[in-house]
Chain A
Amino acid sequence: MRATRSTLFRSYGVLMLLLALTAAATRLPPGPWTLPVSLVIALAKTAIVFLYFMQLRYQRGLVRIFALAGFVWLGIAGLLTFADYLTRDG
């Protein structure tokens, strides 16, 4: 099974909407939520590209695992590196 044409167009619509949203958010006064919100939006956009443009939604489990592995391993690198930086004495 593959993504249909209308699925692709709808995905594109959502992507552009998210782009508008994250761009518009910069007009609000900055706060501690600025970066997290823009990163969550980026994650959502990536998920849409992976699932529909890259057809991950229609792939077998093995390919999905490999697609995730890169992110998981980057997560390991980040987690343990920050285990150092977040607990230093100053």
Chain B
Amino acid sequence: MSTAADPELSPFRDAEQRSVANHLGLWTFLATEILFFGGLFMAYSVYRYAYPEAFAEGSRHLDFWIGTINTALLLTSSLFVALGDHAIKAGRHATLRGCLIGAWLLGALFLALKFHEYHSKYVEHLVPGLNFRYDEPTHWAPQIQLFIFLYFALTGLHAVHMLFGLGAIAWVLWLDLRGRVTAQRHGGVEMVGLYWHFVDCVWIFLYPLLYLIAHR
């Protein structure tokens, strides 16, 4: 009798079916995210292929160390999220909370560094649409602007996803504090974790494509 089923579970037969469906749904969503970022990656590839010199020149204006440290921050925060997910399955709430807070702080630090970098671009008159001015002698100025624009578009879109991720981590933390996460019911932690790892993966590609192509 499906009518006797728990209304909380509807339209699913049982918690197992719901969990499997949530997983499939989230992975499908991540596939759409790959193609969403993918359009920008396509634009990057086409123009990188057309103007390798301009891209190498543009990349010199990015801070190698900020990029590298930020990669390390995100990888570490991903580890925290994975450990938190691991802990809650054994019912260890304190570990979960510690891990989520750690991941959240690392994510916030990433964004702080990112905005510091944005700010320094502003000071150097390198923000397209705001104050872009390229004084060094080169006939690649428009193409360099294109690179810097792609840098802002890619990292900006990534940062928006980070903000959603921070919100989601805070939400899961709140759920746990309200006692709504248990060793049996931890789907939220899993889903948010998958999303957070995915956003991490996007950055794993942005890092070499934006920061590591300069001739130093």
Distance of B15 from chain A, by nearest CB (Å): 17
B161 → A minimal CB distance (Å): 15
List CB contacts (< 8 Å) of B33-72 with chain A.
33-35, 38, 41-42, 45-46, 49-50, 56, 64, 68, 71-72
Binds A, one of B143-151, B152-160, B176-184, B195-203: B195-203
Write the A16-60 contact mask toward B (1 if CB under 8 angstroms, else 0). 100100110111001000110011011001100110111000010
Taking chain B's interface residues, is the majority helix, strand, or loop, or is none over half, making it mixed?
helix
- For residue A83, CB closer than 8 A to chain B, the reply is no
CB distance from B50 to the nearest CB of A (A): 8
- Which A residues are in CB contact (< 8 Å) with B72? 16, 19
Whether B30 lies near A8 (C-beta < 8 A) is no
In the complex, how many residues of chain A place their beta carbon closer than 8 angstroms to a beta carbon of chain B? 45
A67-B75 in contact (CB<8A) = no
Contact status A42-B78, CB under 8 Å: no
Given contacts A5-B83, A46-B204, A85-B49, whether A74 and B75 have CB atoms under 8 Å apart is: no
Asked if B13 is an interface residue, CB under 8 A from chain A, the answer is: no
- Contact yes or no, B82 A3, CB < 8 A: yes
| B42, A78: Cβ atoms closer than 8 Å | yes
B86 within 8 A of A: yes
Are B34 and A3 touching (Cβ within 8 A)? no
- Check if B175 is an interface residue, CB within 8 A of chain A: no
Stretch at the interface among B134-142, B162-170, B207-215: B207-215
- Return chain A residues, CB-CB under 8 Å to B119: none
Contact B75 A19 (CB under 8 A): yes
**Which of B41, B193, B204 is A45 in contact with, Cβ under 8 Å?**
B204
Q: A8-B79, A45-B204 are in contact. Are A34 and B213 (CB under 8 A)?
A: yes
| A35 → chain B closest CB, angstroms | 6
Contact yes or no, A5 B86, CB < 8 A: yes
B1-9, B20-28, B105-113, B125-133: which lies at the interface = B20-28
Q: Which residues of the partner chain A approach B31 to less than 8 Å between Cβ atoms?
A: 66-67, 69-70, 73
The docked-state distance in angstroms from the alpha carbon of A89 to that of B28 is 39
Contacts of A11 in B (CB 8 A): 79
* Cα separation A66 to B198 with both chains bound (whole Å): 14
Query: Which residue among B31, B38, B72, B214 has the maximum number of chain A CB atoms within 10 Å of its CB?
Result: B31
Residues in A whose Cβ lies below 8 Å from that of B75: 12, 15-16, 19, 45
Taking a contact as CB atoms under 8 Å apart, the answer to whether B32 and A26 are in contact is no
For B76, the closest partner residue in chain A by CB is A12
What residues of chain B have their CB less than 8 Å away from a CB belonging to chain A?
Answer: 23-24, 27-28, 30-35, 38, 41-42, 45-46, 49-50, 56, 64, 68, 71-72, 75-76, 78-79, 81-83, 86, 89, 193-194, 197-198, 200-201, 204-205, 207-209, 212-216
A-B contact pairs, 12 of them (CB 8 A): A3-B86, A5-B83, A19-B68, A22-B212, A23-B64, A38-B212, A39-B205, A42-B204, A49-B78, A49-B204, A67-B30, A85-B49
